[in-house]
Amino acid sequence: MRRLILLRHAKSAYPDGVTDHERPLAARGQRDAPVIGKEMARRGLSPDHVVISTARRTRETFNLVEPFLGQHTAHYERAVYEAPIDAILRVIRAIGPEVASLMIIGHNPGLERTASHLVRGGGTAASPLEDKFPTAALAVIDLDVPQWKDVGPHLGTLAMFLTPKQLRNPPDHTVP
Protein backbone atom coordinates (compact mmCIF):
# COMPACT_ATOMS: atom_id res chain seq x y z
CA MET A 1 0.00 0.00 0.00
CA ARG A 2 1.29 3.46 -0.95
CA ARG A 3 -0.13 6.83 0.04
CA LEU A 4 0.07 9.80 -2.33
CA ILE A 5 -0.63 13.27 -0.99
CA LEU A 6 -1.20 15.94 -3.64
CA LEU A 7 -1.11 19.55 -2.48
CA ARG A 8 -1.82 22.38 -4.85
CA HIS A 9 0.19 25.49 -4.02
CA ALA A 10 -1.61 28.14 -1.97
CA LYS A 11 -3.13 31.25 -3.58
CA SER A 12 -0.51 33.24 -5.45
CA ALA A 13 -0.13 36.90 -6.31
CA TYR A 14 0.28 38.36 -9.79
CA PRO A 15 2.77 41.22 -9.38
CA ASP A 16 3.66 43.22 -12.47
CA GLY A 17 6.94 42.33 -14.12
CA VAL A 18 7.30 38.96 -12.35
CA THR A 19 7.53 35.79 -14.42
CA ASP A 20 5.03 33.01 -13.74
CA HIS A 21 7.76 30.84 -12.21
CA GLU A 22 8.63 33.56 -9.68
CA ARG A 23 5.12 34.57 -8.57
CA PRO A 24 4.93 34.70 -4.74
CA LEU A 25 2.06 33.72 -2.48
CA ALA A 26 -0.71 36.22 -1.93
CA ALA A 27 -1.76 37.14 1.62
CA ARG A 28 -4.58 34.56 1.45
CA GLY A 29 -2.09 31.89 0.42
CA GLN A 30 0.16 32.77 3.35
CA ARG A 31 -2.86 32.25 5.65
CA ASP A 32 -4.18 29.07 3.97
CA ALA A 33 -0.99 27.01 3.74
CA PRO A 34 -0.44 26.74 7.52
CA VAL A 35 -4.14 25.89 7.97
CA ILE A 36 -3.66 22.87 5.69
CA GLY A 37 -0.37 22.00 7.40
CA LYS A 38 -1.97 22.03 10.85
CA GLU A 39 -4.83 19.87 9.62
CA MET A 40 -2.36 17.41 8.11
CA ALA A 41 -0.62 17.13 11.48
CA ARG A 42 -3.95 16.77 13.31
CA ARG A 43 -4.92 13.90 11.00
CA GLY A 44 -1.50 12.22 11.14
CA LEU A 45 -0.68 12.87 7.48
CA SER A 46 3.10 12.72 7.53
CA PRO A 47 4.82 12.01 4.22
CA ASP A 48 8.13 10.17 4.07
CA HIS A 49 9.24 12.26 1.09
CA VAL A 50 8.07 15.51 -0.50
CA VAL A 51 8.61 16.55 -4.12
CA ILE A 52 8.14 20.28 -4.69
CA SER A 53 7.85 22.18 -7.95
CA THR A 54 10.63 24.74 -8.36
CA ALA A 55 8.14 27.62 -8.72
CA ARG A 56 8.35 30.24 -5.98
CA ARG A 57 4.70 29.79 -4.93
CA THR A 58 5.19 26.05 -4.36
CA ARG A 59 8.46 26.61 -2.47
CA GLU A 60 6.70 29.16 -0.23
CA THR A 61 3.77 26.78 0.28
CA PHE A 62 6.20 24.04 1.32
CA ASN A 63 7.96 26.37 3.76
CA LEU A 64 4.62 27.10 5.46
CA VAL A 65 3.44 23.45 5.72
CA GLU A 66 6.80 21.82 6.43
CA PRO A 67 6.79 22.47 10.21
CA PHE A 68 3.69 20.26 10.44
CA LEU A 69 4.95 17.32 8.34
CA GLY A 70 7.04 15.36 10.81
CA GLN A 71 10.24 13.62 9.73
CA HIS A 72 10.67 13.56 5.96
CA THR A 73 13.06 14.11 3.10
CA ALA A 74 12.37 16.55 0.28
CA HIS A 75 13.63 17.70 -3.07
CA TYR A 76 12.70 20.31 -5.67
CA GLU A 77 11.77 19.04 -9.10
CA ARG A 78 11.51 21.29 -12.17
CA ALA A 79 9.52 18.55 -13.95
CA VAL A 80 6.56 19.21 -11.60
CA TYR A 81 6.30 22.88 -12.65
CA GLU A 82 3.08 23.20 -14.69
CA ALA A 83 3.39 19.50 -15.50
CA PRO A 84 0.83 17.39 -17.36
CA ILE A 85 -0.25 14.00 -16.03
CA ASP A 86 2.45 12.00 -17.80
CA ALA A 87 5.25 14.13 -16.30
CA ILE A 88 3.78 13.85 -12.79
CA LEU A 89 3.39 10.08 -13.20
CA ARG A 90 7.06 9.81 -14.27
CA VAL A 91 8.08 11.64 -11.08
CA ILE A 92 5.87 9.34 -8.94
CA ARG A 93 7.10 6.16 -10.63
CA ALA A 94 10.74 7.16 -10.06
CA ILE A 95 10.33 7.19 -6.27
CA GLY A 96 12.12 4.37 -4.46
CA PRO A 97 10.35 1.55 -2.64
CA GLU A 98 11.54 2.82 0.78
CA VAL A 99 9.02 5.69 0.52
CA ALA A 100 5.58 4.57 1.68
CA SER A 101 3.98 8.03 1.72
CA LEU A 102 4.79 10.60 -0.96
CA MET A 103 3.68 14.22 -1.11
CA ILE A 104 3.81 16.35 -4.26
CA ILE A 105 3.34 20.11 -4.10
CA GLY A 106 2.48 21.38 -7.55
CA HIS A 107 0.06 23.10 -9.86
CA ASN A 108 -3.20 22.76 -11.68
CA PRO A 109 -4.45 21.46 -13.98
CA GLY A 110 -1.79 18.72 -13.62
CA LEU A 111 -2.52 17.77 -10.01
CA GLU A 112 -6.28 17.71 -10.49
CA ARG A 113 -5.98 15.58 -13.63
CA THR A 114 -3.48 13.24 -11.99
CA ALA A 115 -5.77 12.73 -8.99
CA SER A 116 -8.76 11.99 -11.21
CA HIS A 117 -6.65 9.67 -13.35
CA LEU A 118 -5.47 7.63 -10.37
CA VAL A 119 -8.68 7.40 -8.35
CA ARG A 120 -11.23 4.65 -8.97
CA GLY A 121 -14.34 6.44 -10.12
CA GLY A 122 -12.39 9.73 -10.32
CA GLY A 123 -14.22 12.34 -12.33
CA THR A 124 -17.65 10.99 -11.37
CA ALA A 125 -20.33 13.32 -10.03
CA ALA A 126 -19.97 11.73 -6.59
CA SER A 127 -16.27 12.53 -6.40
CA PRO A 128 -15.02 15.72 -4.70
CA LEU A 129 -12.46 15.82 -7.51
CA GLU A 130 -15.27 16.51 -9.98
CA ASP A 131 -15.93 20.04 -8.71
CA LYS A 132 -12.63 21.79 -8.38
CA PHE A 133 -9.10 21.47 -7.00
CA PRO A 134 -8.68 24.96 -5.48
CA THR A 135 -5.47 26.52 -4.27
CA ALA A 136 -4.08 24.86 -1.11
CA ALA A 137 -6.40 21.87 -1.65
CA LEU A 138 -5.12 18.51 -0.49
CA ALA A 139 -5.98 15.13 -2.02
CA VAL A 140 -4.91 11.96 -0.21
CA ILE A 141 -4.93 8.88 -2.42
CA ASP A 142 -4.27 5.37 -1.18
CA LEU A 143 -2.80 3.16 -3.88
CA ASP A 144 -2.92 -0.62 -3.68
CA VAL A 145 0.44 -1.13 -5.41
CA PRO A 146 3.64 -2.75 -4.10
CA GLN A 147 5.94 -0.06 -5.54
CA TRP A 148 5.61 3.44 -6.98
CA LYS A 149 6.69 2.20 -10.39
CA ASP A 150 3.40 0.24 -10.50
CA VAL A 151 1.14 3.31 -10.17
CA GLY A 152 -1.46 3.47 -12.92
CA PRO A 153 -4.97 4.59 -13.79
CA HIS A 154 -7.81 3.86 -11.35
CA LEU A 155 -5.63 2.00 -8.85
CA GLY A 156 -6.25 4.49 -6.06
CA THR A 157 -8.91 5.32 -3.53
CA LEU A 158 -9.54 8.91 -2.53
CA ALA A 159 -9.04 8.76 1.24
CA MET A 160 -9.45 12.48 1.84
CA PHE A 161 -9.97 15.77 0.05
CA LEU A 162 -9.54 18.97 2.05
CA THR A 163 -9.69 22.64 1.18
CA PRO A 164 -8.91 25.67 3.33
CA LYS A 165 -12.50 26.85 2.80
CA GLN A 166 -13.85 23.61 4.33
CA LEU A 167 -11.56 24.03 7.32
CA ARG A 168 -12.54 27.68 7.83
CA ASN A 169 -16.27 26.94 7.45
CA PRO A 170 -16.92 23.46 8.87
CA PRO A 171 -20.44 22.12 8.40
CA ASP A 172 -22.87 22.89 11.20
CA HIS A 173 -24.00 19.60 12.72
CA THR A 174 -26.17 21.08 15.45
CA VAL A 175 -29.63 19.64 15.89
CA PRO A 176 -32.42 22.22 15.63
* Per-residue DSSP letter, 8: E
pLDDT at position 130 is 61
pLDDT tens per residue, range 32-54: 999 999 999 999 999 999 999 99
Among the listed residues 108, 70, 77, 72, the one whose alpha carbon sits nearest the alpha carbon of residue 92: 77
pLDDT tens track for 4-21 = 999 999 999 999 999 999
Tell which CATH classification among 3.30.1360.120, 3.40.50.1240, 1.25.40.10, 3.50.50.60 matches the domain 2-168. 3.40.50.1240
Domain ranges for the chain, please list them.
2-168
Residue ranges in the chain modelled with pLDDT below 70 = 122-131, 170-176
Write down the pLDDT at residue 129: 66
| Sheet with 2-8, side-by-side order of all strands | 73-77, 49-53, 101-106, 2-8, 138-143, 156-162
